[in-house]
């Protein structure tokens, strides 16, 4: 694995590989890597790309400064895991490499409805930050293929929209959520849970599974209420439990029994905010 810290060196290397006929695959991350991230690398490699992983904890996407300060950093372990996985390139830029002009006055992206709901509503400015860093990274790497996790369902939709806005032809791949053996979605933030919180955390997955098992045609308010209570009983502070159209993310209150729908949850377990989702139908 080659480690690049500087944009111009990375760009030169990518240009030479492209000239040699390689396709470029990209997996952007914020580090504290786990099997979910590594599964993205694996898919990227299996598709025959030159595999590029970036690790950059992007300050502009944290609406809560405490969350940014406490974001786990495990860079040596990350390098070890990436190397073991056969990753070709790790891009490890400084803040100055990504934002040479600083982080004020960065571009604003017209995300419309997508930014007003769910994560957009509860984390104001978050998706602008995601677009700002992804815009920079995508212009540096210019990947043929981009691999991101369905775990961040709304983020996948935002980044697909960003690709349209900035006019890149990159093929977007949304990869399945990798879970712990009890069902908890893997997340860098899980490392911040203490032992009893970790045991409780699986309630999010259980609640999603409850929704999938019990959804019926008609009014969904009773079902959603029960779901919320499952979380509250286990000490969660719920931001949202929603069932939405799987393509548009518009809220579905009344289900016609046919529409493709996804359930999405965001909730705090004390200090730690966790998100997860599950396709309910089909």
CA dihedral 65, 165, 88, 59 (to 10 degrees): -10
What tokens does 99 get? Answer: 């934002």
CA dist 272 → 52, 104, 157, 210 (Å):
29, 28, 24, 23
Residue number, 144 or 152, with CB nearest to ligand AMP: 152
Catalytic residues: 37
Least distance to ligand AMP from the beta carbon of 16, Å? 27
Residue number, 130 or 223, with CB nearest to ligand AMP: 130
Least distance to ligand AMP from the beta carbon of 119, Å? 12
Residue number, 1 or 226, with CB nearest to ligand AMP: 1
Burial class (CB within 10 angstroms; exposed 0-12, middle 13-18, buried 19+) of 122: middle
Least distance to ligand AMP from the beta carbon of 187, Å? 5
Rounded Cα gap, residues 15 and 140, in angstroms: 11
Within 10 angstroms of residue 29's Cβ, the number of other Cβ atoms is 23
Least distance to ligand AMP from the beta carbon of 176, Å? 7
Supply the Cα-derived Rg of the chain in whole angstroms.
19
Partnered with residue 90 across adjacent β-strands are 3, 53
φ, ψ dihedrals at 188, nearest 5°: -60, -30
Rounded Cα gap, residues 83 and 63, in angstroms: 32
Least distance to ligand AMP from the beta carbon of 188, Å? 5
Residue number, 224 or 262, with CB nearest to ligand AMP: 262
Q: Point out which residues bind ligand AMP (CB under 6 A).
A: 29-30, 36-37, 39-40, 148-149, 151-152, 175, 177-178, 185-188
Rounded Cα gap, residues 141 and 257, in angstroms: 42
Spatial contact of 52 and 24, defined as CB atoms under 8 Å apart: yes
Residue number, 208 or 224, with CB nearest to ligand AMP: 208
Spatial contact of 231 and 203, defined as CB atoms under 8 Å apart: yes
Residue number, 149 or 261, with CB nearest to ligand AMP: 149
Spatial contact of 89 and 10, defined as CB atoms under 8 Å apart: yes
Least distance to ligand AMP from the beta carbon of 48, Å? 20
């Amino acid at each position: 694995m080659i480690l690049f810290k500087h944009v111009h060196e990375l760009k030169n290397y990518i240009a030479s590989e492209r000239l040699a006929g390689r396709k470029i695959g990209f997996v952007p991350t914020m580090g504290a890597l786990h099997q979910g991230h590594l599964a993205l690398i694996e898919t990227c490699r299996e598709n025959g790309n030159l595999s590029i992983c970036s690790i950059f904890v992007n300050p502009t996407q944290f609406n809560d400064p405490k969350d940014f300060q406490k974001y786990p950093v495990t860079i040596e372990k990350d390098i070890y895991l990436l190397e073991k996985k056969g990753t070709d390139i790790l891009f490890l830029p400084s803040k100055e490499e990504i934002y040479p002009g600083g982080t004020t006055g960065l571009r604003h992206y017209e995300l419309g409805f997508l930014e007003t709901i769910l994560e957009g509503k509860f984390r104001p400015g978050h998706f602008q930050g995601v677009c700002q860093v992804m815009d920079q990274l995508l212009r540096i790497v210019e990947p043929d293929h981009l691999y991101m996790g369905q775990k961040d369902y709304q983020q996948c939709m935002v980044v697909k929209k960003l690709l349209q806005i900035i006019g890149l032809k990159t093929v977007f791949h949304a990869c399945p959520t990798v879970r712990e053996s009890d069902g908890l979605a893997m997340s860098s933030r899980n490392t911040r849970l203490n032992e009893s919180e970790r045991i409780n955390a699986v309630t999010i997955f259980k609640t999603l599974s409850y929704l999938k098992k019990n959804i019926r045609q008609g009014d969904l308010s009773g079902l959603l209420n029960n779901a919320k209570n499952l979380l509250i009983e286990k000490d969660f502070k719920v931001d949202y439990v929603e069932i939405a159209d799987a393509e548009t993310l518009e809220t579905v209150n009344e289900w016609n029994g046919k529409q493709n729908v996804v359930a999405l949850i965001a909730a705090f377990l004390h200090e730690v905010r966790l998100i997860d989702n599950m396709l309910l139908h089909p």
